[in-house]
Structures are given as C-alpha cells and as structure tokens.
Amino acid sequence: MKSHVRAVVIGGGVVGVSALYHLAKKGWGDDVVLIEKAELTSGSTWHAAGLLPLFNMSYSVGQIHKYSVNLYGALEEETGQAVGFSRVGNVRLAMNQDRMDEYYQYAATAKTIGVNVEFLTPDEILKLWPMCNIDGLVGGIVHPDDGYIQPADLTQSLAKGARARGATIYRNTMVLNIEQTTSGAWLVQTDKGDITCDHVVSATGNYARKTGAMVGLDIPVIPVEHQYIVTEPHPELQQRKQDGLPELGVLREADGSWYLREENGGFILGPYEQGAPCCYVDGPDPRAEYELFQEDIDRIAPHIEAAMNRVPAFAEVGIKKVYNGAIAYTPDGNPIIGPAWDRDNFWLNEGHSFGITAAGGAGWQLAEWIVDGEPTIDMLGVEPRRFGDYATKDYLIEKNEEAYASVFVTHFPDEERPAGRPLRLAPCYERLQAMGAVFGQKFGWERANFFATDGAPQQDDWSFRRSNWFDAVAKEVKNTSENAGLLDMTAFAKCRISGRGAEAFLDYMVANVLPKNIGGIALCHSLNRNGGIHSEFTIRRESADSFYLVSAGALQRLDHDYLQKRMPKDGTVQFTQLTDAYGVLVLAGPNSRRILQRVTDADLSNEGFRWLTSQDITIGDAAVNAMRVNYVGELGWELHHPIEHQNEIFDLLFDAGADLGLKPFGIRAMDTMRLEKSYRMVGTELSIEYSAYESAMERFIKTDKGDFLGRDALLARKEAGCKTLLITMEIADIDDADALGNNALVKGGEIIGRATGGGYGFRVQKSLALGMVKPELATPGSAFDIEILGKLYGATVISDSPFDPKNERLRDVNGTNN
C-alpha cells in the first residue's frame, strides 16, 4: 500500500469511484487512491434500479444530474467498458393542475440549465406508452435524453477510467480510523496498513455516520428502506420486442408515487411509500455486503394498485423478486457534497438517494473544489453545511423518513414540511402564534411566514400561484408601510470576531471597507477565490478590535465555517458563536421611531441616531444593540437583544405601539418588500456563479482598499467583461402568479437570461422579478419575455429599487416621523 498520497477516497460505490475518476481526470491520477472494504458496488450500488432521472427542482442538483447523463453517454467510448445505458426516455404523468404547475416551474429550471424537456397531452402520452391507461391524466412531460443504466457496469467503467489515469483502488481493505496530525495531514488507518494524505473524501454510503464519527462529526445521513419489484415477463412486452418496437420509456406517476420500467420483458415497479422506516441508524455491520432486508409488500400495496390501474398489463404478471435495500437520506432528500465543517480538507460525498444519477456530477464538482479550491456551479442545494447541529439522530430519523415519503409530493415553492417541528423556538413564538402566525422553518428555527387575521384559517395554502396568504401579506405590507410592523428575526446567524488581529482578518475576508467608527455598520461580502459572492454579512464595529456579524439564518454553519477555517491559527483572532444567545426583533415603518422612543431614553432623532449606525440602548431591563438598518425599505431598527429579555421587549413594544398601529409581519411580507428595494439574497441573486460585478454590487466592492479574498480574480473577470448583469424587472398583464425564480427570459426565441426571484410588490402594485441578463439588455426600458408557469409575459427592465429609490423613507429625510 502507498504510504502517502494527495487524496484518499473511502468507499467503492458508484459515488466514491466517480470522485476517484474525476480527481484522476484533474491530473491527480498517480496521487489518489480509493479504499473499499469489500468489492466495488457491494454497498447500495449493486441493487439500484439504475434510473437516471434528470428531473429535479433544485438548480444545483439539476446541473449535477445533467452532467452525469452526458458523462455516462460518453463513458463507454472513453473506457471501452460498457455501462448499459438505455436512453429510453422518461415520461412523468400529471393528474391535476398543481402537478402541471410543478412541471412548468421545473421546465423553467431545466431550460435555463439546458436540459431537454417536452410537454405531452394525454394522447401524446398514449402514443409513447400504448400500455398506459390515460384516464384522469391532465398531461405530462418527457425527458427524451434520460433512461436507465447498469449501476455495476457504470462503476466498473469509471474505475477503469480512473485506473487508466494512474489511480489505485484497494479492494477488501477497511478503513478503521482517521486522524488529523499536527501538520494538518490526515492519517488513514486500514486493516492493511496506514496511509497519510492531504485530503480525505468520505463516500461511504450507509456508513456515513460511522465514518463521520471517526473524525468527530455527526453526519446528517440515515438510510431508509426502499423496495422495488421485478415481475415475470409479459407477453405484450415480449411481442413488442419481437416486432422490433422500441423499449418503452420509464414511466412515473408522481401522484401515485411510483415509477415503472421494462426489465427483461417484464416490469420493475418502484414505489415511494409512506411509512418506510429508517434503517442502519447506527450504521450497518462493518462486514455487511450485498445486504437486502425482508420485503414488506403490504406497505407498498396502495402503489401496486395504483400502478395496476395505470398500466393494466402490470396486473397480469407475477412478482419474480422484491429488492428491499437501504437508500441513504438527508433531511431534505438532497445529498451532501462538499467540505465538512470544522475540519480542513475532509470532504463529504454522502447522503445520495439518487446516487447512480448524481455520482458523475458530484465527482466532477468535488474534484474541482478539491484540486482548484472552488466548485464551478452553485452548490448551495447540496452544501453539507446547510444543516446544523440541531440535526440529531432522532431528528434525522423523523426528517429522513419524511424526505423519502415526499419524493413524489408536489414540490410547492412555499412548502413547509411538518416532521421534526417545532424544534428551535424564539421566546416570542407563542405570542406570535396567538397573533395568528403561520410558521415555516429555517435551520431548525420556527419563523412566522405570515399572519392569518380576521377569521382566516391559521394554516398555509401552498401553491405555485398567488394563494390564500397573498391577502394576508398585502395587509402586513400595508400596515408596515403606513404604521409599523414587527418581525422576529431571531433565526439570523450571529457571531463576534474579536482580538488583536480581528480587523486585519475581517478586512481581508470582505470586499467592502469595514466600518471605521464604533457603532458603524457596513454591508460586506465575502467572495470566493473566483470573485463570486460566497457570504453576506452585516458588520457592526463594537470596539477597536471587536466586530458583530449578522448573516442569513439558513447559512449559519456555512458562513461561520467559512470564516473560522480562514482565521489565523496564532490566537490573534477569536470567534464567538452568538446565534442562540441573541434574539432579533425588527421594528419598521413610519411610526417605528415614535414607538421605540416610548420605551427607551436614547435619542432616536435623525441627528441623534443616523441611518446605517447602531447604538447600545436600554429597553426596560434589557441592554439592546439597536441597528438602524432593515431589509424592507422603511424607517426602522433591528433590535438585537439577550434572548432572555425577548418577551419583555416584545411586550413593551406592543404596549407602546397599540395606538400607533403596530402589528406583526412575517417572512413573506419581508420578501416582497425586499424585492421592491432590489435587495439581493445569497443563493439567488448572489452566487459563486456570478462575479460580484455581475450581481451589480459595485458599491460594496472597494478594490482600492488593498488585498482581499477573491480580489484578483474579480478584477480579472471585470477586465474580461461581465457575461451577465443583475436587473430588476416589471412584468406586465399577470394577475394570478408571479415569477418564482429560475424563469427563462426570452427574446426572439433565444434564452437571454433567467429570473432569480420574484413576487408581487404591494407598495408599487406591480409584479416584480430580479434576474440576470446579457449586459446589452440590462438597461432600463429593455424589453423581452419571461416564462411563468408555461406562459410568456412581457418583462421590462426598470431601475433598481422601484420603491423609494432615494431611500427617503429609510433615512426619514423630512424627519417627520418623530
């Protein structure tokens, strides 16, 4: 066994072998090895049904799947090893309008990333699938380019490609322990000897938590049992073959939660049922290989019946074999691909529930990240750090079973799944609930999405279109802009960076200049090495060597890990986690000053408390850091307070605001108000795929301040010219829906950009969207079409911040709101 290499991949399933292949392809061939405890594919890979669905609502996963399908199509030619790719196409059925809306929304994503998808009428479905009963169908979609593959052959082909580039595979070798040495190198101990390396890639499938435990990480992966049925041959399928007819494509009835395909003249049926249990909660036995569980036909009986109804021929054949195997899951059903938190150079490629499909793209991006230091596509949807330490074993069991059962649910954009909730509660949770809050969840925190008032049911109404909550949000926006509103933002990620080296460190980490004065605030962005935006922080200077940082709640682990991994190791900079210690209440609207003034002695006048500054003030018994900023474009303050004082502050504000119209508002109202201000968000308008200039963030980028992370690459990209530019759009003649993001922007039949987000702006009374277009089309007045739920609408570029472009309300220029 080699004693030192650059990278060790652990796990010889399709996912690990693809990572090995791509690392070798990036030029590390002689310096990368894979360690597999048994034979290649002996984990989950051997028994997979081999389907390669391109369909995925996530922008990240969509691109990963697309890459895989392209790669697999070319692999045999490259390696000489067949992969058994049957490009039979893939038909998805729709039995209701919501499902069609889901397909329209999906097709928008597909279009913008270049995936071929076509819409079908029931009659067209019948032509493609003559054995399908089309009763009750409203339509469907087909992916002509996908199909299924032989997972074991695919893995062997990738292994051959990796070996041809010099990579080594050690089979029948078990990793027993992993340690990081003082030099930062990893020591991987196996039953056949030790090996040191710079990078470890964990691709251990159902063993993910066991591997994580070796390095002290609680990996948010627990598998669920998944079954599929293989039937005896059916004469009609056999006859079709004899007649030289093409193989039928994969058929998916999403509303019945199953897929069906041909297999040796018979069928394979794969249901995603309710009640499938988690398995291997503490990991499989170390010696387990080629393992299957006892089948449970009763559990999948409703899906078998649904399939019999849809494809009557399926009812006419006997069951030959049932496969019941472990399929790795995460709480949201997407894999985790990327760096582990709190550990340098430890990479996760785990939690794959569609691992045959994702392996190619996952290996590609991981190799880019490891070798070049950055991925090349936006990986937020599969980021390992999108979960936090709230994801305990019990939580994972609940959530992963739910994720499995939700594979075929309609993926509404405003969907909020119930399992594992409520989990993290701000102290004011019950008060908000009593006021009508309908909650959603982010990073484990319950957050009010909107407030049901005037007898409206206190429940959500998910839809791709404007739904019941639309009126509730309209009321919240009106009240906040005419009187005052209060929003609980306790879920914000918060931390302190302090110490002798804090200023120099942070100055290097962000592209803006840090606030100079104590109490000063600045919006700052951490770029990646390629000049794309990785993180956004509101930074408050607390003293000469202490800074308070606020960022998106959902990105807590990601943002904090990004900082911590780059801190100097000499003790001159300290990181303090403050998320759970501080609550945040946002008070906004023209009456906010009057209300706040009733509960504090601080001078809140324009002169005494300037916009974009902060002060330590007192409210009741609480010491509060009041920051005069907000995300909704109104006069207002973010009140950051010790969490134990939250309800005291909450009650004082509502008492003081009773005659000034203070009412709560929720996240959805905040989101429409931020659109009216063209405020960007990480993960949509701000992404590593766009340079900071392409996201039109120049006022926050100070290239003349000295060096900062990503500066050189950013300047090089500027020199090369922006490929795309961020715009605000107004959409004409639409009255029941708004852009949801990922909508294609079209001119003369050509896709010229994509919307990143959208919604209705209640204050400007317009349907708005933000998006990226070719620079020559980015000027106000430029017109083209936007596709929303399958229809084209006129879109016109308008100037940024259609609501209050001069920020007069935020600044309260007339000083009238005293």
Contact indicator for 590, 480 with CB cutoff of 8 Å: no
Number of residues that bind ligand FAD (CB under 6 A): 41
Q: Least Å distance between CB 450 and ligand FAD?
A: 37
Which range binds ligand FAD by CB under 6 A, 126-134, 204-212, 408-416, 756-764?
A: 204-212
Joined together, the tokens standing for residue 190 give: 């196996």
Residue 205 CB, nearest distance to ligand FAD (Å)? 3
207-226: contacts with ligand FAD (CB under 6 A): 207, 211, 226
Residue 14 vs 278, nearer CB to ligand FAD: 14
Round to the nearest angstrom and report the end-to-end CA distance of the chain. 76
Binding-site string for ligand FAD from residue 136 to residue 175, where x marks contact by CB under 6 A and - marks none: --------------------------------------xx
Choosing from 75, 100, 203, 755, the residue that interacts with ligand FAD (CB under 6 A) is: 203
Say how far apart CA 345 and CA 592 lie, in whole Å.
Answer: 48
What is the bridge-based pairing of β-strands 175-180 and 224-231?
unpaired
State the Cα–Cα distance between residues 64 and 71, nearest whole angstrom: 11
Nearer to ligand FAD, 167 or 428 (CB): 167
Residue closer to ligand FAD by CB (options 33, 51) is 51
Under rule CB under 6 A, residue 512 binds ligand FAD: no
Query: Which H or E run includes 476?
Result: helix 469-482
How far apart are CB 173 and ligand FAD at their closest, in Å? Answer: 7
Stretch that binds ligand FAD, among 206-214, 419-427, 559-567, 716-724 (CB under 6 A): 206-214
From residue 317 to residue 336, what is the string marking binding to ligand FAD with x (rule CB under 6 A)? ------x-xxxx--------
What is each CA distance from 702 to 31, 263, 551, 778, in whole angstroms? 40, 60, 20, 23
CB of 188 to ligand FAD, least distance (A): 9
Classify residue 301 by its DSSP letter: H
Report the largest interatomic distance among the alpha carbons of the chain, rounded to a whole angstrom.
88
Which residues does 285 contact at the CB level (< 8 Å), separation at least 6? none
> Is the link from the previous residue into 422 a cis peptide, with omega within 30 of 0?
yes
Q: Which is nearer to ligand FAD, 334 or 357 (CB)?
A: 357
Of 9, 14, 251, 539, the residue at the interface with ligand FAD (CB under 6 A) is 14
Candidate residues 5, 7, 10, 573; the one interacting with ligand FAD per rule CB under 6 A: 10
User: Of these, 231, 257, 357, 684, which contacts ligand FAD (CB under 6 A)?
Assistant: 357
* 574-577, strands of its sheet edge to edge: 521-527, 533-543, 546-551, 493-498, 574-577
Least distance in Å: CB of 213 to ligand FAD?
11
**113: phi then psi, degrees, rounded to nearest 5:** -105, 5
Q: Half-sphere exposure of 732 toward its Cβ, with a 13 Å CA cutoff?
A: 9
Q: Which is nearer to ligand FAD, 33 or 108 (CB)?
A: 33
Q: How far apart are CA 109 and CA 116, in angstroms?
A: 11
The answer to whether 125 and 134 are in contact (CB under 8 A) is yes
CB neighbour class for 3 (10 Å; exposed up to 12, middle 13-18, buried from 19): exposed
Task: Please say which residue, 408 or 443, places its beta carbon nearer to ligand FAD.
Answer: 408
CA-CA distance, 148 to 568, in Å (whole number)?
A: 49
For residue 149, the minimal CB distance to ligand FAD (Å) is 8
Distance in Å, CB of 435 to ligand FAD, minimum:
44
Q: Whole-number minimum distance, CB 343 to ligand FAD, in Å?
A: 17
Per CB under 6 A, 188 contacts ligand FAD: no
Q: Tell me the closest approach of the beta carbon of residue 489 to ligand FAD, in angstroms.
A: 37
d(CA 260, CA 248): 10
* Cα 702 from chain centre: 29
| DSSP letters for 783-811 | EEEEEETTEEEEEEEE-S-SSSTT-HHHH
Residue 72 engages ligand FAD in binding (rule: CB under 6 A): no
Contact with ligand FAD (CB under 6 A) among 354, 548, 562, 650: 354
Cβ closest to ligand FAD, residue 288 vs residue 602: 288
Q: Contact between 29 and ligand FAD (CB under 6 A)?
A: no
Place of tokens 């509660």: 425
CB of 58 or CB of 743, closer to ligand FAD: 58
Chain positions 32 to 61 lying near ligand FAD, rule: CB under 6 A, are: 35-38, 42-45, 47-51
Listed ranges 14-22, 522-530, 581-589, 614-622: which one lies at the site for ligand FAD (CB under 6 A): 14-22
**Are the CB atoms for 681 and 493 separated by under 8 Å?**
no
H/E stretch holding 176:
strand 175-180
Q: Which is nearer to ligand FAD, 34 or 473 (CB)?
A: 34
Tokens of 354: 């569609």
Cβ 665 to ligand FAD, closest distance in Å? 42
Question: Is residue 355 within the footprint of ligand FAD (CB under 6 A)?
Answer: yes
Closer CB to ligand FAD, residue 155 or residue 538?
Answer: 155
Residues numbered 249 to 278 that lie near ligand FAD (CB under 6 A) are: none
| Three-class secondary structure assignment of 584-630 | EEEEECCCHHHHHHCCCCCCCCCCCCCCCEEEEEEECCEEEEEECCC
Closest CA to 177 of 196, 158, 160: 196
206 binds ligand FAD (CB under 6 A): yes
- The CA-based angle 472-474-480, given to 5 degrees, is 105
Which 334-353 residues touch ligand FAD, going by CB under 6 A? 352-353
Binding of ligand FAD by 11 (CB under 6 A):
yes
Residues 61, 65: Cα–Cα separation, whole Å: 6
- Between 16 and 256, whose beta carbon lies closer to ligand FAD? 16
What is the length of the chain?
A: 818
**Based on CB atoms, which residue is closest to ligand FAD, 35 or 768?**
35
Is 174 or 715 the residue whose CB approaches ligand FAD more closely?
A: 174
Give whichever of 61 and 755 is closer to ligand FAD, judged by the CB atom. 61
When the beta carbons of 183 and 294 are compared against ligand FAD, the nearer one is 294
Exposed / middle / buried, residue 721 (Cβ in 10 Å: 0-12, 13-18, 19+): exposed
Minimum CB–partner distance for residue 352 and ligand FAD (Å):
4
Considering the complex, state which of residue 8 and residue 379 has its C-beta at the smaller distance from ligand FAD.
Answer: 8
Binding site for ligand FAD (CB under 6 A): 10-16, 35-38, 42-45, 47-51, 174-175, 203-207, 211, 226, 228, 323, 325-328, 352-357
